[in-house]
Amino acid sequence: SKPKILVARSVFPETIARLEAHFEVESNQDDQTWSKPQLIQKLHGKQGAFTTGSERIDAEVLAACPELKICANMAVGYNNFDVDEMTARGVLATNAPDVLTETTADFGFALLMATARRITESEHFLRAGKWQKWSYDMFAGSDIHGATLGIIGMGRIGQGIARRGAHGFGMKVIYHNRSRLDAQLEAECKASYVGKEELLKTADHVVLVVPYSPASHHTIGAAELALMKPTATLVNIARGGIVDDAALAAALREKRLSAAGLDVFEGEPKVHPALLEVPNVVLTPHIASATIPTRRAMAELAADNLVGFLVHGKPVTPLNPAVLGGK
Ligand code: GLV
Ligand code: GLV
């Protein structure tokens, strides 16, 4: 008989149809929000799970679902997985890298531009009927071209943003990362490696693209915000928790930072109420990879991993390949 899988969130009907060719599929096409006990109940007895960033796969879930062999995340980030625990229990984890890189870099750049040029703030003003006359400094923002772009987290998405800034907008690009890029990649991105403190002190625009982990929790907190120029902007397309949202809201309110653009939030879909009260922040609901072709490619890659592993024994993008050797 076919392996049993759970598709934990609503996804393209074509993806479900493809999975049904290989698996006995229980899906959630009406996109109900499940509590952890409900998730465990649905996942029990399944060999595979198609997950998104919203399902937490931790020790409790794994202990309750001993037949589980693979969780395929339709996201590049996988901080919803306890990968160590999955490895210990012989459960394969896969993510969806690469297919979303350029789409997400586009969005990071769009959010930077919207933030620096006050696009949503000025639109709210216009829609509210407040535009009575033009004035010389109305919604004056800061320049992108020629400015110094500081990127924290120089993975594939960070490199995509660096290329856009350096080649498209003549920006000076500096970056900080756990490890330095090789010389060829640095040259392609026209990016120079600097320490985090130097980056924060010198960048006109800071973009965050680091994966979330306990070590990257509050990469930007009150102390880091204090290092930034009061004219600077900050963009977070990484994960909620990379920025201390309360400290950021205070810095924005007190104009210790000129503006911010946020696609991800601590505790999302809740947004810190103080952020909703400051005008100089652009807020979007975690949509950086949201184009239909890219979301299709992400869903296909998650499905490729499920079929590849459960049917052929060969996943495409395993995160803990040690599991493969051990079985
Ligand atoms: C989205 O946040 C992702 O990790 O793909
Ligand atoms: C992932 O973290 C990336 O930047 O591709």
Residues 133-158: tens digit of each pLDDT: 999 999 999 999 999 999 999 999 99
Ligand closest in space to the Cα of 156: 2
* Contact in structure between 80 and 55 (CB atoms under 8 Å): yes
User: ipTM of the assembly?
Assistant: 0.68
Gap between the Cα atoms of 327 and 322, Å rounded: 9
* Contact in structure between 8 and 42 (CB atoms under 8 Å): yes
- Residue 292 tokens read as 């239909």
The reply to whether CATH 3.40.50.720 applies to domain 101-283 is yes
**Reduced to 3 states, what is the DSSP secondary structure of residue 220?**
strand
Q: Report pLDDT for 327.
A: 46
For residue 67, indicate whether it is catalytic: no
Q: From the CA of 76, how far away is ligand 1's center (Å)? A: 5
First to last CA, the chain: 21
**DSSP string of 25-86, one letter each residue:** EE--TT-PPPPHHHHHHHHTT-SEEEE-TTS-B-HHHHHH-TT--EEEESSS--TTB-HHHH
Categorise residue 45: left if φ over 0, alpha if ψ from -120 to 50, beta otherwise. Answer: left
Identified catalytic residue from 239, 266, 295, 300: 239
With a CB cutoff of 8 Å and minimum separation 6, the contacts of 270 are: none
Gap between the Cα atoms of 202 and 228, Å rounded: 7
Taking Cα atoms as reference points, which of 251, 232, 246, 240 lies closest to residue 284?
A: 240
Q: From the CA of 13, how far away is ligand 2's center (Å)? A: 27
Pinpoint the residues of the chain covered by CATH 3.40.50.720.
4-99+292-325, 101-283
Residue 326 has pLDDT above 80, yes or no: no
Topology classification of domain 4-99+292-325: Rossmann fold (3.40.50)
Least confident of 43-47, 293-297, 323-327: 323-327
Does the beta carbon of 97 sit less than 6 angstroms from any atom of ligand 2?
A: yes
Q: What is the dihedral of CA 287, 154, 201, 234, to 10 degrees?
A: 0
Q: From the CA of 289, how far away is ligand 1's center (Å)? A: 7
